[in-house]
């Protein structure tokens, strides 16, 4: 049975435990801290079962929380065994290891007919720290540009506008930066139609000025 040694401070009784195979990492109230490095595989038995359906009905498969090219290779091998036309693969860059191993990831992923990269900026901010969020994003864009791989700009794009109907100034600037990606992903919200209109207008104005 795992033990959870508590930090005994007057206003901080959060439980912490070491993660096996991790580097400088802790679980704090069920959340992974910024320096976490997890060693388990991205694909589990349920994922392999689902791929049998996916290969017949889906156009794209997104690979989440993968850390190494071995995760991509496992996906390739399983789809090859299933036969038929393999769907495109999108690598979701969500972990520190995934970011650091991106060049190897891409070399493996580009064996598929079509591949792309999604920058999951919220998870990356947790994994790499908010101070490194912008720098990490830029590095991913540079690597994908060199590899001629399309990029999906995701997570919190015009989120306040989509949910509440009024964007923040920071959201407008953030959306404008997304012109360097090939695709931008909006989240659900009551005003998502207005968010699509505003995003289209922003990108239209930026199209001639921005480059990846």
- Is residue 94 within 8 Å of 120, Cβ to Cβ? yes
pLDDT digits (tens, 9 = 90+) for 180-190: 899 999 888 89
95 and 167, same domain (yes or no): no
Give dist(CA 202, CA 72) in Å, integer: 35
Instruction: Reply yes or no on whether the pLDDT at 44 is more than 70.
Output: yes
For residue 28, the model assigns a pLDDT of: 37
pLDDT band at residue 40 using 50, 70 and 90 as cut-offs:
low
Say how far residue 66 (Cα) sits from the centre of its chain.
10
Residue 61 lies in a domain: yes
Give the total number of structural domains in the chain: 2
Residue 73 lies in a domain: yes
Domain boundary among 134, 154, 174: 154
93 and 197, same domain (yes or no): no
Residue 12 lies in a domain: no
Query: What's the average model confidence in pLDDT over 116-144?
Result: 76
121 and 50, same domain (yes or no): yes
53 and 146, same domain (yes or no): yes
For residue 2, the model assigns a pLDDT of: 44
Residue 124 lies in a domain: yes
Give dist(CA 175, CA 139) in Å, integer: 18
Residue 16 lies in a domain: no
102 and 54, same domain (yes or no): yes
What CATH number does residue 47 fall under?
A: 3.20.20.60
For residue 78, the model assigns a pLDDT of: 83
Residue 133 lies in a domain: yes
Residue 123 lies in a domain: yes
Domain that holds residue 165: 156-207
pLDDT digits (tens, 9 = 90+) for 74-119: 888 888 888 777 788 899 888 888 888 899 989 998 888 889 999 8
Instruction: Reply yes or no on whether the pLDDT at 135 is more than 60.
Output: yes
Burial of 132 (0-12, 13-18, 19+ CB in 10 A): middle
CA neighbor of 142 nearest in space, from 111, 102, 104: 102
DSSP one-letter string for the chain: ----PBP-BTTB--BEEEPTT-SS-EEETTEE-TT----S-S--HHHHHHHHHHHHH-SEEEE-S--SHHHHHHHHHHHHHH-SPPPEEEEEE-SHHHHHTHHHHHHHHTTSSSEEEEEEHHHHHHHH-GGGHHHHHHHHHHHHHHHT--EEEESSTTHHHHHHS---HHHHHHHHHGGGSSEE-PPP-TTHHHHHHHHHHHHHHHTTT---
């Amino acid at each position: 049975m795992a033990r959870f040694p508590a930090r005994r401070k007057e206003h901080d009784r959060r439980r912490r435990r070491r993660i096996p195979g991790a580097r400088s990492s802790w679980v704090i109230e069920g959340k992974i801290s910024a320096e976490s490095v997890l060693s388990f595989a991205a694909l589990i038995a349920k994922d392999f079962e689902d791929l049998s359906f996916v290969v017949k009905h889906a156009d794209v498969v997104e690979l989440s929380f993968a850390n190494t090219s071995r995760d991509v290779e496992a996906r390739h091998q399983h789809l090859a065994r299933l036969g038929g036309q393999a769907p495109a693969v999108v690598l979701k860059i969500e972990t520190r290891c995934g970011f650091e191993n991106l060049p190897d990831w891409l070399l493996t992923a580009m064996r598929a007919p079509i591949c792309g990269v999604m920058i999951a900026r919220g998870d990356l901010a947790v994994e790499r720290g908010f101070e490194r969020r912008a720098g990490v994003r830029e590095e991913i864009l540079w690597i994908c540009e060199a590899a001629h791989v399309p990029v999906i700009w995701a997570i919190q794009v015009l989120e306040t506008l989509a949910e509440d109907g009024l964007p923040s100034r920071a959201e407008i600037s953030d959306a404008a930066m997304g012109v360097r990606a090939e695709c931008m992903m909006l989240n659900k919200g009551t005003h998502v139609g207005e968010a699509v209109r505003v995003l289209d207008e922003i990108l239209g104005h930026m199209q001639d000025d921005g480059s990846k």
